[in-house]
Amino acid sequence: QKEVEQDPGPLSVPEGAIVSLNCTYSNSAFQYFMWYRQYSRKGPELLMYTYSSGNKEDGRFTAQVDKSSKYISLFIRDSQPSDSATYLCAMSLNNFNKFYFGSGTKLNVKP
């Protein structure tokens, strides 16, 4: 069983839609949870990170962590065509040396 599971998509939505991206994980020791965005032919860039359970909001993006269910989500409000990319979840223990990534969900926001 993979440490982190993520639906690969692709997910296609109209501009302005609310997007929900999700990951599940198996290791209850994960403490830090991150979402990266990756455009084609580029390296991933960090969107958001959260520590332990709870919500974090940054502009149109909201990250949620439910440690009891081992489930994390990223919500994108008022999605834009520029949000079209692959979104990767990632997790780390409390030492920031090893990171575990999901396989990524490809999102396409149609104008």
Partner 1 sequence: EAQVTQNPRYLITVTGKKLTVTCSQNMNHEYMSWYRQDPGLGLRQIYYSMNVEVTDKGDVPEGYKVSRKEKRNFPLILESPSPNQTSLYFCASSRQYSNQPQHFGDGTRLSIL
Q: Is 4 in the site for partner 1 (CB under 8 A)?
A: yes
C-beta neighbour count of 32 within 10 angstroms: 17
User: Which residue from 24, 49, 70, 75 is in contact with partner 1, where contact means CB under 8 A?
Assistant: 49
Residue 82 is given by DSSP the state: G
In three-state secondary structure terms, 31 is coil
Cβ of 62: how many Cβ atoms within 10 Å? Answer: 17
Using CA atoms, how far apart are residues 111 and 95, in angstroms rounded to an integer?
Answer: 42
Residues 18-47 that bind partner 1 (CB under 8 A): 32, 34, 41-46
Beta carbon nearer to partner 1, 4 or 65: 4
Residue with Cβ nearer partner 1 (41 or 111): 41
Residue number, 1 or 111, with CB nearest to partner 1:
1
The closest of 18, 3, 2 to 107, measured between CA atoms, is 18
Please give the residue ranges that form the binding site for partner 1 (CB under 8 A): 4, 6, 8, 32, 34, 41-46, 49, 51, 88, 90, 95-104
